Structure 1
Amino acid sequence: MLRWPAMRYKGWTIKTLLLRLLILSVDPTTEEIDNNLIVKTVQSADGQTFACVDFKSQPSLTHPLLKNHTRQPMLPVSFPDSTDGDKGPKFHISDVEMSNIDCPPGTVPILTSYNASMSPRCLDKIIGYKYNEIGNNKEYTQTAAFATVASTFYGLQSSISVWEPDLGTGKEPRFSGAMAIVENEGSRVAAGWSVDPYLYGDNQVHFEIAWVDNEKSCVNVRCAGFVQTSKKATPGIIIKPVSIINGKQYIIRVKIIKLLGAWILKVGEEIVGYWPSKLFSHMSESADRISWMGVAGAAPGDPFPPMGSGQPPDEGDAKSACFSDAKVIDASGRGVTLALNRVNTVVTAPKCFDVGRPTSTEDGGLQFYYGGTGCSPSLPIE
């Protein structure tokens, strides 16, 4: 495979960048839903259980900074330069924003059917940690990323191909996924997909979000922070259909944009909710870096599972996992395609996974392939 020569960030070495991406492990807190606040309990066709709770009673609003946050902002119906629209014959749209969860008006569905045996752990593993340790439990994460040079950003947009890699056998925790991340210093928000039996209790692909602020972290809405507004695109929900090698390629379209004092998350045509800016120590106004990454994690001594489709990036269309239509959001809310000298690739385990060279697409944005079959930890990790 012809490798793209590694570039340096202006003023940053790759080693320094990894220290930014692989931030310290932090313990999340988990909020349980008061049974007295549940208006209705529903089950999806995939067997997931959701609690329908009044918007003002959702667990996120128990955060000390959000206790007086009793109503949602006037969210825009559409965004400038949206990812909505026909993506052409190459891609098909997964139905994460089309789920039929029958919650009453004025309520939002909160996923409750997480793995019952789940113990406290680093739920923010998808932000790109290389090594986490919680008590006697250890986990390792490897990253294949495409990231920007430091600048000022107000969000991102991207189409993320959806795969359901076979994780094989191994000790928990064990996971694989793909995320788009907005960050500034110790503050981050992310959205994408994850296969994580330890968290979800199954081997299916789930829509997953996360946020981190210094020593605080959370995945989905298992703790206070993200304010959910959608009744359709619910964090943690199973995504269907998924891409098949040499078959149809399915994507989810993600947009994170700073508007109205919040980082608003949109998936497809559905506004999922928002992270209020007041949650973040370093991201109340803007971000300084954007990244798109595949991640894979395993317990010490276990081989890393496949990342993406399980195929290396040089397999290309219909075989390799990809991010496409990748843009950053400027101060006017417009999606901007970065020049190639303003982005870089980062691979923490090049003997296991890889990232292809980004290219500009005809319909705008950057596209790149990533992934790999995984590998044994006995192989040297560069």
Structure 2
Amino acid sequence: MGYKGWTIKTFLLLHLLIFSVEPTTEEIDNNLVFKMVQSADGQTFACVNFKSQPSLRHPSLKNHTDLVMPPISFPNSTYGDKGPKLYISNVEMSKIECPSGAVPILTSYNASMSTRSFDKIIYNEDGNDKGYRQMAAVVTAPSTFYGLQSSISVWEPDLGTGRPPRYSGAIAILQNEGSRVAAGWSVDPHFYGDNHVHFEIAWVDNDKSCVNVRCAGFVQMSKKVTPGIIIKPVSIINGKQYIIRVKIIKFFGDWVLKVGEEIVGYWPSKLFSRMSDAANIISWMGVVGAAQGQPFPPMGSGQPPDEGETKSAYFADAKVIDESGNLVTPALSRINTIVTEPKCYEVGRPSTSDGGLQFYYGGTGCSSSQPIK
């Protein structure tokens, strides 16, 4: 397939990513809660027995045997203590103290899980969606992938006022047709009840979907980092830049998620009809959502990519894991940039180095004189 043909096919595949499917949810059995804890940021978490977490109620995991899977080593990484540039620092997660044998599950959501789901960004077949979701993305050509890594700059854009859904974020996605996993950050006042930036994950398989940990599928392992938790500090224009380092890798048959040096958990391969073996497309993207008739909110830092260092949001150190299990930088000839609403957002010209692929992205959104039609 020539470049033009691949570009058209990729656009059609990515267009599916911004549509939605309603997520499944699982409630926490209060009899299985060891204790409730509150972070310094005011978030409430239930400490539940590792083997009793809601995610393990998924039908495919009834006889799941990987509960003590010990991810020990990963392919060599470019990650260093100081990141790709000296002024960049890792973010911190709120400290959560759960008893031994328990994992934290966020309970202090502002809204029903079904009213807004991160996975709406990464899948919807029928397009029957009342809101609009837009993206500015860099995407690989179809191939065989066993994981990804990326540093994602963390920002806290002011979304202004407007009807929900209304959010802004940045994510890395592994997919194979209707099967997808994603991790990144999001600001969503309606979902979380605040204007902070939160760590988020999602998975989708055809008509099944899940966001964070309160629904079936993702097996939480970390006692320190859990989906939905507030990330701080955040990057400041012309100030210090902060990042989260995300790695998703096929390990012992499952898709393991690592943030910084912490193994957060894993998506069992049994969840997926098309990604039990490998992914075939990887995407890094800024995303936003707004209700119909409302203007788009800012993406990333709220600045366009040509503002560059210390002003624009970016992805850096982006690599893929190939069939040999090596971390490699995607060739520029094998990636494409896609922006669904160019009048609002942009993707800067990607570049590569020994550290990996990097690019700036973002934008101010559209003013009230340019509402969604």
The equivalent of 2:96 in structure 1 is: 101
Q: Mark the CA change 1:352 to 1:128 in structure 2 (over 3 Å): closer, same or farther.
A: farther
Contact 2:295 2:370 in 1 (8 A): no
Look up the SS of the partner of 2:337 in the other structure.
Answer: strand
The equivalent of 1:16 in structure 2 is: 12
Of 282, 292, 305, 2:297 maps to: 305
1:372 is displaced (CA, Å) by: 0.1
What CA distance in whole angstroms lies between the structure 2 residues aligned with 1:345 and 1:221? 31
Task: Please tell me the residue identity of whatever aligns with 2:46.
Answer: A
What CA distance in whole angstroms lies between the structure 2 residues aligned with 1:41 and 1:320? 39
The equivalent of 1:368 in structure 2 is: 359
Task: Please tell me the residue identity of whatever aligns with 1:61.
Answer: L
The equivalent of 1:3 in structure 2 is: none
Q: Mark the CA change 1:121 to 1:236 in structure 2 (over 3 Å): closer, same or farther.
A: closer
What CA distance in whole angstroms lies between the structure 1 residues aligned with 2:124 and 2:364? 20
The equivalent of 1:328 in structure 2 is: 320
Contact 2:44 2:108 in 1 (8 A): yes
1:127 is displaced (CA, Å) by: 1.9
1:331 is displaced (CA, Å) by: 2.4
1:90 is displaced (CA, Å) by: 3.3
Residues 1:226 and 2:218 are matched in the alignment: yes
The equivalent of 1:4 in structure 2 is: none
Q: Mark the CA change 1:256 to 1:330 in structure 2 (over 3 Å): closer, same or farther.
A: same
Of 265, 269, 280, 2:261 maps to: 269
What CA distance in whole angstroms lies between the structure 1 residues aligned with 2:218 and 2:194? 24
Residues 1:91 and 2:88 are matched in the alignment: yes
Task: Please tell me the residue identity of whatever aligns with 1:280.
Answer: F
Name the Cα RMSD after superposition: 2.1
Ranges in structure 1 where 5+ consecutive residues have no aligned partner: 1-6
1:77 is displaced (CA, Å) by: 3.0
Contact 2:18 2:121 in 1 (8 A): no
The equivalent of 1:27 in structure 2 is: 22
Look up the SS of the partner of 2:231 in the other structure.
Answer: coil
The equivalent of 2:146 in structure 1 is: 154
Per-residue CA deviation, residues 189-208 of structure 1 (Å, 9 max, x unaligned), is 00000001111111100000
Q: Mark the CA change 1:237 to 1:173 in structure 2 (over 3 Å): closer, same or farther.
A: same
Look up the SS of the partner of 1:294 in the other structure.
Answer: strand
Q: Mark the CA change 1:301 to 1:17 in structure 2 (over 3 Å): closer, same or farther.
A: same
What CA distance in whole angstroms lies between the structure 2 residues aligned with 1:289 and 1:311? 28
Q: Mark the CA change 1:356 to 1:297 in structure 2 (over 3 Å): closer, same or farther.
A: same
Q: Mark the CA change 1:11 to 1:95 in structure 2 (over 3 Å): closer, same or farther.
A: closer
The equivalent of 2:62 in structure 1 is: 67
Contact 1:56 1:71 in 2 (8 A): no
- Using the TM superposition, name which of 122-131 and 368-377 deviates more: 122-131
1:125 is displaced (CA, Å) by: 2.3
The equivalent of 2:122 in structure 1 is: 127
What CA distance in whole angstroms lies between the structure 1 residues aligned with 2:141 and 2:288? 24
1:28 is displaced (CA, Å) by: 1.1
- Using the TM superposition, name which of 237-246 and 25-34 deviates more: 25-34
The equivalent of 2:209 in structure 1 is: 217
The equivalent of 2:188 in structure 1 is: 196
Per-residue CA deviation, residues 178-235 of structure 1 (Å, 9 max, x unaligned), is 0000000000000000001111111100000000000011110121000000001110
